[in-house]
Structures are given as C-alpha cells and as structure tokens.
Amino acid sequence: MNCRLARSALDERQCAAACCGQLDSVKLHYTAKWRAFYVTTQTNTTNAFAAGGLRADVLRNPNLDTGQRSVAKWFDTSAFAQPAAYTFGNQGVGMLRGAGVTSTDFSLQREFRFSERIKAQLRGETFNILNHMNLALPGAASVARDWGDQRGKAGASDSGGGTHRVLNFLTT
C-alpha cells in the first residue's frame, strides 16, 4: 500500500499500521449519551396500586442552570411536592437529565497464521481509556437520603461501560 495515498484517507497512526502491515485492526470508539429520569414519591396515596411510589407534582421548573448545578445538588428539590390524596403526580417523563456518560474505547488486533488451519490472535483492548468518571443518576425519590445528590459512581450496568479504565490482553 502506498503511504502517500493512505495518508490522504487515514490519519498517521492508521497509516503506519496499514503501511507496515503489522496490525490487522485498530479501532477507536467513543460513546456519549444523556440519561433522563424522573422524581418519585416515597408513598403511594392513590389507593390504586398495591405498592411503589408515584411521580411527584411539579411546582416550577426543577432544572438548574449549568452554573448552579453541583454534584451534591443536581436539580431543584424544592420544585417537587407530594401529590394530593387519590391523585397522580403531574410530572412528565424524562423531565430531568443526569450528567452525561462518556467512554472512549481502543483496541489493537493482530492475527498470526502458522498454517492453513493453525492461527493465533493477539488482541489488546482498553475500555474508558481516558478514565472519565461517570456519575450515577441523582437520588430521585423525594425525602430519600440521597435526594438530588449525584455523588455516587455509575456501575457498569448504569453507564454502559463502567467507571474506571479497564485493560485486556488476550490471546486465542
């Protein structure tokens, strides 16, 4: 492969790998997403369902300006109230958004063929290579201990990629 031609289509790192023929695959994947949530009450006052909280009543816009948000107070907790007895809350779905979740993953792969049927693969992968901390969703149950607080770290199931850098080296 001609490096001049490759440089016009690929960046320098990919070009070096393609020209030298050393790597079979170089991948960089970036993920960013927002997570919506809503506030629930601690008690069910409708007598319509067996258990579980309800959506709260919204008194005013609960979203804080970016400059007012902090990890300890992500939204205005005083903008919510318990619905009146035998009524449902008026809060819409996805009215609040938690902090975004980002993850940058990188992998290198090389396959070695010893014969037509015998081959080995060497692969290195890293997840969340920039080690970006993804926060959990704020406490969304009114009167709860973590009400409006976002200090917890998101787990692998919550963030889609865990919270810390993970390195894997594999051979097959």
- The C-alpha atoms of residue 14 and residue 65 are separated, in whole angstroms, by 41
- Name residues whose C-beta falls within 8 Å of residue 5's C-beta, 6 or more positions apart in sequence: none
Residue of 17 and 105 predicted with greater confidence:
105
- The C-alpha atoms of residue 166 and residue 163 are separated, in whole angstroms, by 9
The 10s digit of each residue's pLDDT in 53-112 is 788 889 999 988 888 988 888 888 888 888 888 888 898 888 888 888 888 888 888 888
Residue 146 has pLDDT above 70, yes or no: no
**Across all residues in the chain, what is the average pLDDT?**
74
- Among residues 43, 42, 77, the alpha carbon closest in space to that of 58 is found at 77
Over residues 102-126, the mean pLDDT reads 88
DSSP 3-state assignment of 21?
A: coil
How does residue 10 score in pLDDT terms, banded at 50, 70 and 90?
very low
pLDDT at residue 61, as a whole number? 92
Query: Is the Cβ–Cβ distance between 104 and 134 less than 8 Å?
Result: no
pLDDT at residue 150, as a whole number? 59
